[in-house]
Amino acid sequence: MTDMLNHVFATITDRQANPKPGSYTNTLLEAGEDEIVKKIGEEAVEVILAVKGQGDKRVISELADLAYHCLVLLAQRGLTPDDVAAELERRHRP
């Protein structure tokens, strides 16, 4: 899982450095933080709706969308998945 998340994040940061016309990632990055967090909110609601009756396949799909948009937000703010992992590690130390 971590390898795929890192791969997706690398693609997002590559789009930041080398914008690609027509790229959805670039559209989000150019729209700015407000649009990115709006999408995160929409995806979070879609996860909830999926859990409440749309089946596991839909739950997985919506969670993937939510994870992607969260990765875009991290890139927009100059943060990385490693920052999140470090916080989780800090919280779960014995």
Concatenated DSSP letters of 1-19: -HHHHHHHHHHHHHHHHS-
Q: 21-61: per-residue pLDDT in tens?
A: 999 999 999 999 999 999 999 999 999 999 999 999 999 99
- Cα separations (Å) of 79 from 11, 19, 31, 72? 15, 19, 18, 10
Compute the distance between CA of residue 64 and CA of residue 59 in angstroms, rounded to an integer. Answer: 9
Name the domain count of the chain: 1
Q: Give the domain extent around 47.
A: 2-91
CATH of residue 18's domain is: 1.10.287.1080
% of residues, the chain, pLDDT over 90: 96
pLDDT of 36: 98
pLDDT of 94: 73
pTM, two decimals, is 0.93
